[in-house]
Amino acid sequence: MSEKLLLPGLTFPDLEALVKDLGEPAYRARQVNDWLKKGSGFEDMGNLPKAFLEKLAGRAIAQPVQIASRQVSAMDGTEKYLFSMLDGHCVEGVLMRYRYGLTLCLSTQVGCRMGCAFCASTLEGKLRDLKAGEMVGMALVVNRLCGEERVHNIVLMGSGEPLDNYDEVVRFLRIISSPDSLNIGIRRISLSTCGLPQKMRQLAREGLPVTLSVSLHAPNDDVRRQIMPVAKSVSMEELLGACRDYAQMTGRRVVFEYALIKGVNASPEHARELAGRLRGMLCHVNLIPLNDVPERNLRAASPGEINAFRQTLEGSGISATIRREMGADISGACGQLRAQYLKNPLNPKKEDQSP
The SS3 assignment for 175 reads helix
Do residues 249 and 284 make contact, with C-beta atoms less than 8 angstroms apart? no
Strands 211-215 and 189-193 turn out to be: parallel
Catalytic pick among 90, 105, 112, 334: 334
**Distance, first Cα to last Cα, the chain:** 47
Nearest CA among 333, 281, 284 for reference residue 310: 284
Q: Which of 92, 134, 168, 305 is catalytic?
A: 92
Burial call 90-105: b when 16+ CB within 10 Å, e when fewer: bbbbbbbeeeeebbbb
Half-sphere exposure of 85 (CA within 13 A, CB side): 23
Cα dihedral sign, 94-230-265-243: negative
Are 40 and 62 contacting, i.e. CB atoms less than 8 angstroms apart? yes
Q: Give the count of beta carbons closer than 10 Å to the beta carbon of residue 351.
A: 9
Pair type for strands 126-129 and 101-106: unpaired
Q: H helices then E strands: how many in the chain?
A: 11, 14
105 given a catalytic annotation: no
- Residue 176: count other Cβ atoms within 10 Å of its Cβ: 22
Alpha-carbon span 195 to 199, nearest angstrom: 9
Instruction: Tell which residue, 323, 322, 333, 347, has the closest CA to residue 295.
Output: 333
Active site residue 92: yes
8 Å CB contact between 161 and 195: no
Dihedral of alpha carbons 268, 271, 272, 273, sign = positive
Which residues are known to be catalytic? 92, 334
